[in-house]
Structure 1
Amino acid sequence: MNEIRQRIKSLRLELLKRNLDAWYISGTDPHASEYLPERWQTRAFISGFTGSYGVVVITQEEAGLWTDSRYFLQAEEQLKGSGIKMYKLRVADAVSPEEWLSKKLQRNSKVGFDPQTLSVSGYKTMNNSLKKTGISMVETSDLFERIWEDRPAIPADEVFDYKHAHTGISRRGKKELLAAELKKHNADFQVITALDELAWLFNLRGSDIPFNPVFTGYGVAGKNDWILFVDNAKIPNQLKIHLEKEKIELRPYSAFPAWLKSVKGKTVFIDPTSASFSVFSTLQNENKIVEGISPVSMLKARKNKTELSGFREAMKKDGVALLEFLFWLKENVKNNTVTEFDAAKKLAWFRSLQPDFKGESFSPIMGYREHGAIVHLSVNKDNALPLRPEGILLFDTGGQYLQGTTDITRTVALGKVTAQQKTDYTLVLKGMIALSLARFPEGTKGCNLDILARKPLWEHGLNYGHGTGHGVGHFLNVHEGPVSIRQEFNEVPLQPGMVLSNEPGLYREGEYGIRTENMIVCVEKEKTSFGNFLGFETLTLCPIDTNLIDISLLSEKERNWLNAYHNKVRSELKPLVREELVRFLEELTENQ
């Protein structure tokens, strides 16, 4: 922790040189990424906290890190001795970083920030709040360049072509779809800064960020514009020829800021949640800016038939790997030689045996006993608990296949369990089933449905602190916007083709955690005189542990759903698994 304290001291010296009272660290990169290449892991560098979400504020006297309930326990542990205090977000009575700064700093104070790594909406929220107390925000250079010795370079991994057989629509076709959307806003082009949007629009993939098949770049697309800003060395010659034939102009990544300055007299569409304030401030004086939810993001979220077919294929592969893992777990946990870390590695290995496997879709969460209560736990060899033939194990993992991305959580009994564990597990399952069975009119938003997953828990005075569902990309990021199912308002309605997670949970700190997660796709259900009604189809194929269910708490409708789901899992996976696993599969999916 001395190292962290020294880094904070070095940063404070840089603030003194610039007459700044504080510096705001968004904890992301110029593309508003959730998961980051090493170069942009600034939050971890300055604080030691390795979670995927959080902001840091450094003043001359104090330092704070803000994160949400997924990371409360982890942050408390990792920040010990750093001099940085953790503050909770997304809870009742939460104090935001800007509110905290308003209380800590005097009128006429100056808060510095790097405009490359703060989104337009993030800047506006902060600035509007700080202005009320006479505090101003000041753009600075990237101060990490001054204090981070041997800072990693921008990744140089190769980009590869993602074939039409998987995408279902060509680059040209996507450009035309985008141009039609931009026409509605009278915009000449959109500046694309989010890496998953860039990868989707240009039908390209990369490996610059662990678990996310994206590459570092920027894009510009509209009826008459088609530019990809990416380092030349990242594009293989054959792909370069293809892109140039399609009249896609290739420019270096570093040329993007200068190009922005050259744009004049245009109507430019940007998404304020992903575009940096640097992009906005460069364009605003000489152009008209239209802000809104990225049309690329909306097009990407509504999966086409080819993409959905790919997801279903990926689920079969994932299902076989998961069944192999469950069988291995049953056989090996009784030997008292397996740890959480070993189990995570073994599941990744089973996935790797599947054709077209391209890696895990996020860092695996394998939580036994009290570790299960740490929502986004990441164990290593040193802190992994040994598994015993008792209690419950929560594992939240996923795979990247050329056909699609998977994300699944199962909680399983390793032996004897308590009555309370069975009740908790069943209440979580009831919430998951309720969302799976939901029917709702067109135009319904995720926040309108979130109550379905929580109601069984709320009725018993229980709750969970994270969202219920996030969008999932197609061989892309496992967390995908713009749609979600959570209590916070999200203006984007659920639409057919959107793929999401369905993952209620329950966590008893120091005891255990429970979560059951399937991936679902929004589908059309029926048309009545009251309008079009939508619902969900479950995509994930993996047994739900019936040893943990208190059947007396399930209604007939819920039991019917469970049996129908297990019948589907059995029929889909049975032809694909080796003979030794057929009987095991049948046992796990017996009717209740």
Structure 2
Amino acid sequence: MFQDFSVQSRPELGPPRLSALRGAIKAAGLDGFIVPRADAHQGEYVAPCDARLGWLTGFTGSAGFCIALPEIAGVFVDGRYRVQVRAEVDPGAFTPVNWPETKPADWLRTQAQPGARIGFDPWLHTKSEIAKIREGLDGSGIALVESANLIDRVWEDRPAPPAAPARIHPPEFAGESAEEKRARLAEDLRKQGAAAAVLTLPDSICWLLNIRGSDLPRNPILQAFAVLFEDASVKLFAAEAKFDATLRAHLGSEVSILPPEGFGAALEAIEGPVLVDPDSAPLAVSLRLADHDTKVLEARDPCILPKARKNPAEIAGMEAAHLRDASAMVEFLSWLDAEAPKGRLSEIDVVTALEGFRRETNALLDISFDTICGAGPDGAIVHYRVNEATNRPVKPGELLLVDSGGQYVDGTTDITRTVAVGDVPDEARRPFTRVLQGMIAISRARFPRGLAGRDLDALARAPLWAEGWDYDHGTGHGVGAALCVHEGPARISRISEIALEPGMILSNEPGYYREGAFGIRIENLILTQAAETKGDGRDQLAFATLTWVPIDRRLIDPDLLGPDERDWLDAYHAEVLRRVAPLVGEGAKRWLETACAPI
């Protein structure tokens, strides 16, 4: 589990740790140091030993970084975390910075002294990331300098690395053997003239080898590095104790398990051009190869797109997982609708109950991320995580936003529902309906093959824009099949240039957040697939829905919906009832029949 960096601990988190870091910065002959949220694998979640940003600042969000200078320490966060960061960091020690509106290079130009040397650990930053900052600093006299990790020098009680065992991902859910995957990708390497490819993303490695792990909470991954060679062999750098005899037999003789500390030397030993992803691999990889004059071919991680294009077995597993998860969600919502209006529940009570309903399926491996449960104003904190210090009563007359998911052996789920607790706040109906219209627009979209998420993002926002509203996060992210709930490279976002392809699974989650009052988000997962031929026969794609859970009809203003939107909603609820009613108890079934009635 993550360490608790709650607001209760704020006095301890601020000046002493920051002062220790500043002492290390000075001792290293530097004028500043960058502390990212990321670890060497660039994942959203980090192990306790890699939670450097949280240890230093108290900020617990999944994205951001700190730049510590002698007189100021900026904590850079995006729109999801601007309320949260103010609650978690010591304002006397840390200054929140709106990012990406304020770029780190621009901030350094105004805050750092001319000629300043800003240190960074090249194992925690990608080549692309550092190149962008250096480009922004060009001509300023401010330099980025590779450095040992200065947080590690002052973090005296830093936890040990994770040591959980790995496991086989069943072939019936993988849909393709690891041998077939390795051979297919090795052939691609040969076509590109590469002798090897460096793999640093744990979910890529797990997908390639049909294995899973439990090194991190919520994500069934093994933390490792790997090198895939043109002959389809693999060198896997991970703690050997994580692999039992059965797993070693599964991997076979073509996969060598080696100690993690041997990764750097192995890079130096590669003969021939090496494929490295500048957007995901640590800069240290490219530096190590360059030191030995190894030719680097910069290209996307070769596992990324094949992993994103789910095969039929993976799709079937995801469909089964979502139906199972829907039954748990319906049991939960039925319970919540009866208990919440009594005014006796807290946010933690809701989180605990929801996980309990998922565990009653007898199939839950873990939740897929820490449940977001925001009552009233807490719902306006986009990635709010309740703890004992922030736990709030669930009050009648307010909205409750619950964003949650499950990890199952056959699939990964992610769903958000915003519900009324008792009487519906009148001021919430219009924004709720506008959010719903955006979600329906994405669900119904047909679009030419080759379009990217950025080409669709506006469909979800248009109903909100008409009111002068918007939300400060993407509309959707990729989702792994029994892997990470946030998976690249495809997403529905203003900045996504990755073409959507059949088999890609995405979230569809527009929202609206009124600080100090409530938050609204509605989220289903959707599968990209070929669209039925119509019109002049153009090649088009469309989305199929994977999530089957009612949307709170009490919060909808029917007068705002158009005929097509009404038809979609009624058809969706009819399908929810058909699919889920046979899977739940009699009480939940009666609730479901009411919840799925036509609008």
Q: Does the pair score TM above 0.5?
A: yes
The 5 Å alignment of 1:504-519 reads 504-519=510-525
Matched to 2:329, the amino acid is: L
Aligned to 2:569: 562
1:332 counterpart = 2:333? no
Matched to 1:206, the amino acid is: G
Distance 1:181 1:485 in 2: 28
TM-fit CA distance, 1:106: 3.4
Aligned to 1:256: 263
Distance 2:388 2:26 in 1: 42
TM-fit CA distance, 1:550: 0.7
Q: Secondary structure at the match of 1:396?
A: strand
CA contact (8 A) 1:446 1:483 kept: yes
Of the three residues 5, 28, 38, the one matched with 2:38 is 28
1:451 counterpart = 2:461? no
Q: Secondary structure at the match of 1:559?
A: helix
TM-fit CA distance, 1:409: 0.4
Of the three residues 173, 176, 180, the one matched with 1:166 is 173
Aligned to 1:105: 112
Matched to 1:340, the amino acid is: E
CA contact (8 A) 1:526 1:532 kept: no
Distance 1:2 1:386 in 2: 27
CA contact (8 A) 1:47 1:82 kept: no
CA contact (8 A) 1:175 1:223 kept: no
Rate the CA distance shift 1:160–1:373 in 2: closer, same or farther, 3 A. Answer: same
Distance 1:195 1:5 in 2: 34
Aligned to 2:275: 269
Aligned to 1:541: 548
Distance 1:300 1:111 in 2: 37
Rate the CA distance shift 1:321–1:109 in 2: closer, same or farther, 3 A. Answer: same
Q: Secondary structure at the match of 1:295?
A: coil
Of the three residues 51, 54, 58, the one matched with 1:44 is 54
TM-fit CA distance, 1:530: 6.1
Which blocks of at least 5 consecutive residues in structure 2 are unaligned? 1-10
Of the three residues 171, 180, 191, the one matched with 2:187 is 180
TM-fit CA distance, 1:434: 0.4
Matched to 1:47, the amino acid is: T
CA contact (8 A) 2:406 2:413 kept: yes
Distance 1:319 1:125 in 2: 43
Distance 2:36 2:395 in 1: 41
Of the three residues 360, 364, 367, the one matched with 1:353 is 360
CA contact (8 A) 2:37 2:52 kept: yes
CA contact (8 A) 2:14 2:89 kept: no
Distance 2:247 2:62 in 1: 32
Of the three residues 77, 84, 91, the one matched with 2:87 is 77
Residue by residue over 1:163-187, the C-alpha shift from the partner in whole angstroms, topping out at 9 and shown as x without a partner, is 1011001101111221233234222
Q: TM-score, normalised by structure 1?
A: 0.97
The 5 Å alignment of 1:359-374 reads 359-374=366-381
Distance 2:238 2:357 in 1: 35
Distance 1:388 1:141 in 2: 50
Residue by residue over 1:275-331, the C-alpha shift from the partner in whole angstroms, topping out at 9 and shown as x without a partner, is 001001111242221112222011100000000000110111111111111111122
Aligned to 2:595: 588
Distance 2:415 2:55 in 1: 30
The 5 Å alignment of 1:363-402 reads 363-402=370-409
Aligned to 2:137: 130
Of the three residues 78, 84, 98, the one matched with 1:68 is 78
Matched to 1:241, the amino acid is: A
Distance 2:76 2:411 in 1: 33
Residue by residue over 1:505-562, the C-alpha shift from the partner in whole angstroms, topping out at 9 and shown as x without a partner, is 0011101111100000101003465631001001001001111111111111001100
CA contact (8 A) 2:340 2:422 kept: no
Distance 1:531 1:3 in 2: 58
Of the three residues 223, 232, 235, the one matched with 1:216 is 223
Q: Secondary structure at the match of 2:506?
A: strand
CA contact (8 A) 1:389 1:416 kept: yes
Q: Secondary structure at the match of 1:453?
A: helix
Aligned to 2:8: none
Residue by residue over 1:128-181, the C-alpha shift from the partner in whole angstroms, topping out at 9 and shown as x without a partner, is 222321222211112222100121111110001111011001101111221233
Distance 1:381 1:48 in 2: 15
Aligned to 2:241: 233
1:498 counterpart = 2:508? no
Q: Secondary structure at the match of 1:543?
A: coil
TM-fit CA distance, 1:338: 0.8
Q: Secondary structure at the match of 2:220?
A: coil
Q: Which moved more, 1:460-469 or 1:172-181?
A: 172-181
1:460 counterpart = 2:467? yes
1:139 counterpart = 2:146? yes
Q: How many residues align?
A: 586
Matched to 1:404, the amino acid is: G
Aligned to 2:3: none
Rate the CA distance shift 1:408–1:210 in 2: closer, same or farther, 3 A. Answer: same
Q: Secondary structure at the match of 1:258?
A: helix
Distance 1:280 1:46 in 2: 28
CA contact (8 A) 1:320 1:576 kept: yes
Distance 2:529 2:251 in 1: 35
1:425 counterpart = 2:412? no
Aligned to 1:10: 20
Distance 1:386 1:109 in 2: 49
Distance 1:69 1:281 in 2: 33
TM-fit CA distance, 1:46: 0.9
TM-fit CA distance, 1:237: 2.1
Q: Which moved more, 1:234-243 or 1:401-410?
A: 234-243
Distance 1:82 1:388 in 2: 33
Distance 1:589 1:132 in 2: 62
CA contact (8 A) 2:14 2:90 kept: no
Q: Secondary structure at the match of 1:342?
A: helix
Residue by residue over 1:254-283, the C-alpha shift from the partner in whole angstroms, topping out at 9 and shown as x without a partner, is 11112112224x111111111001001111
Matched to 2:211, the amino acid is: L
Rate the CA distance shift 1:82–1:474 in 2: closer, same or farther, 3 A. Answer: farther
Residue by residue over 1:391-425, the C-alpha shift from the partner in whole angstroms, topping out at 9 and shown as x without a partner, is 21111011101111000000111111233211111
CA contact (8 A) 2:371 2:404 kept: yes
Matched to 2:200, the amino acid is: T
% identical aligned pairs: 39
Q: Secondary structure at the match of 2:20?
A: helix
Matched to 1:59, the amino acid is: L
Q: Secondary structure at the match of 1:323?
A: helix
Matched to 1:303, the amino acid is: K
Matched to 2:527, the amino acid is: V
CA contact (8 A) 1:435 1:452 kept: yes
1:57 counterpart = 2:67? yes
Q: CA RMSD in A?
A: 1.4
Q: TM-score, normalised by structure 2?
A: 0.96
TM-fit CA distance, 1:568: 1.1
